[in-house]
Amino acid sequence: MFELGEGGGPPVRAAVPGSPGAHTAARAKGGPPGWPDRVPPPGVRGWEPAAVAWLLDLCPPEYRSHAVLRRHPVALAWLADHHVAAQVEAMRRAYRTVRVDLGEALPTATVTAVLVCLEHEGLRLRAAQRGIALIREVLDGRVFIERL
């Protein structure tokens, strides 16, 4: 997400694969913008099992033990959406309070690095939310048509 500036200057924003607006392999394969990289585009053979695996990766590992979530991807996507939304809110709360909570315990440079980490994770989670929303739309019957 950030790379060190020249001469140790402030961090410089760099593109993160999968972040909103980034050109991803999924888009090049024909998926709609924001489609998860690891999931084949809708309509391609095997896209649904790959979507289930991707959704399970976003959830706590214990979710894998529930067969109902594998059998019903709509329920899994709904649950993953709630789980990731809670993580986004946690990242936002941490970002707002990190200087107050850790400012005296850590050097300023470390607090700045934690802020960069939180921003990176926030972007990753927002991209995951977009991917979940797209998967839910496809599972609900929406058809995406590639534009020229």
Within a domain: residue 18?
A: no
Among candidate residues 16, 12, 3, the one with its CA nearest the CA of residue 124: 16
> Is 88 domain-assigned?
yes
Sign of CA dihedral 80, 140, 52, 125: negative
In a domain, 94, yes or no: yes
Q: Considering its fold, how many domains does the chain have in total?
A: 1
Per the domain annotation, does 58 fall within a domain? Answer: yes
Q: In tens digits, what is the pLDDT along the chain, a chain of 148 residues?
A: 455 455 555 554 554 544 444 444 334 455 788 999 999 998 889 999 999 999 999 999 999 999 999 999 999 999 999 999 999 999 999 999 999 999 999 999 999 999 999 999 999 999 999 999 999 999 988 777 676 6
On whether residue 29 sits in a domain, the answer given is: no
pTM for this entry: 0.75
104 occurs within a structural domain: yes
Is 146 part of any domain? Answer: no
| CA atoms of 120 and 109, how far apart (whole Å) | 17
Find, among 69, 86, 73, 75, the residue nearest to 125 by Cα: 86
Q: Which range of residues forms the domain containing residue 126? A: 41-139
